[in-house]
Amino acid sequence: MTMAVDALTGGFADAPVESARAFRAVMQALARPGRIETVTGAAPPAPMSVAAGVLLLVLADGTTPVHLAPSHDLPGLRDWLTFHCGCPLVAPEQAVFAVGTWPALQPITRFPVGTPEYPDRSTTLIVERPDLMLGTPALLTGPGIRGEAGLHLPDLAALSANHAQFPLGCDLFFTAGDRLAGLPRSTKVEAL
């Protein structure tokens, strides 16, 4: 079995400091839904975005099974994740993280939403988007938002259904290029 050479590159050059800075951006994005953060430091193989690569470098390791949706289940990407994160690649039902385009991740109801006693045991979805400014404009309200915020989302019905399960549900990051936005399950999503 051979591994593509580019699987060995594209990680953080200075992991402790770069992942610390990236985590702060990730945390701000999830704590303040609607805010778009820019991150740097990862260079994953196509079609994975820089932002999705950074998210996985910061959060995924051998203890976090990752599901690659068909859009991202490619040999080069499998090798890159295996080398840099060491994460097991699994089916949706076992995933702690899942990466893919919105259509490739469907139906998102396959992913664990946690249990009433342990709502933290749910999948975090990393949704790759062509542009964070494309999609249906949505009005966001809930924790982390002063008044209301806005974000362009792929599918309001599915995301509303996800929120309706609170405190269960998936948490989402939307990524495009080096930009990312967070949508925790606590956020109420409505059409603008």
Partner 1 sequence: MSETAYNFGYLDEQTKRMIRRAILKGLAVPGYQVPFASREMPMPYGWGTGGVQVTAACLTPEDRLKVIDQGADDTTNAVSIRSFFQRTAGVAVTGATRDATLIQTRHRIPEAALTEDQILVYQVPIPEPLRFIEPRETETRKMHSLQEYGLMHVKLYEDIARHGQIATSYAYPVAVEGRYVMDPSPIPKFDNPKLNDCPAIQLFGAGREQRIYALPPYSKVVSLDFDDHPFVASKADHACDLCGSGVSYLDEVIVDDQGGRMFVCSDTDYCGARVAAGQRGRLSPPEAA
- Note the residues at the interface with partner 1 (CB under 8 A): 15-17, 19-21, 23-24, 26-28, 30-32, 58-61, 63-64, 96, 115-120, 122, 124, 142-146, 166-167, 171, 184-186
For residues 129 and 177, is the Cβ–Cβ distance under 8 A? no
Integer Cα distance of 37 and 23 in angstroms: 11
Q: How far is the CB of 142 from partner 1 (least distance, A)?
A: 8
**Shortest distance (Å) from residue 58 CB to partner 1:** 7
DSSP 102-168: HHHH--GGGS-B--SS-TT-BPEEEEE-S-TT-SEEEEEESTT-SS-EEEEES-HHHHHHHHHTTTS
CB 147 → partner 1: shortest distance, Å?
A: 8
Q: Quote the CA–CA distance of 32 and 143 in Å, as a whole number.
A: 8
- 33 or 44: whose CB is closer to partner 1? 33
Residue nearer to partner 1 on the CB measure, 4 or 89: 89
Please say which residue, 103 or 167, places its beta carbon nearer to partner 1.
167
Tokens of 87: 């994460």
β-pairing, 124-128 with 171-176? Answer: parallel
Q: Transcribe 39-80 into DSSP letters.
A: --S--PPTTS-HHHHHHHHHH--TTS-EEEPTTT--HHHHHH
Q: How far is the CB of 121 from partner 1 (least distance, A)?
A: 9
Nearest approach, Cβ of residue 150 and partner 1 (Å):
16
- Judged by beta carbon, residue 9 or residue 115, the one nearer partner 1 is 115
Based on CB atoms, which residue is closest to partner 1, 83 or 166? Answer: 166
CA 56 to CA 142: how far, in whole Å? 26
Which one, 58 or 159, has the nearer CB to partner 1? 58
Q: How far is the CB of 117 from partner 1 (least distance, A)?
A: 5
Residue type, 114: G
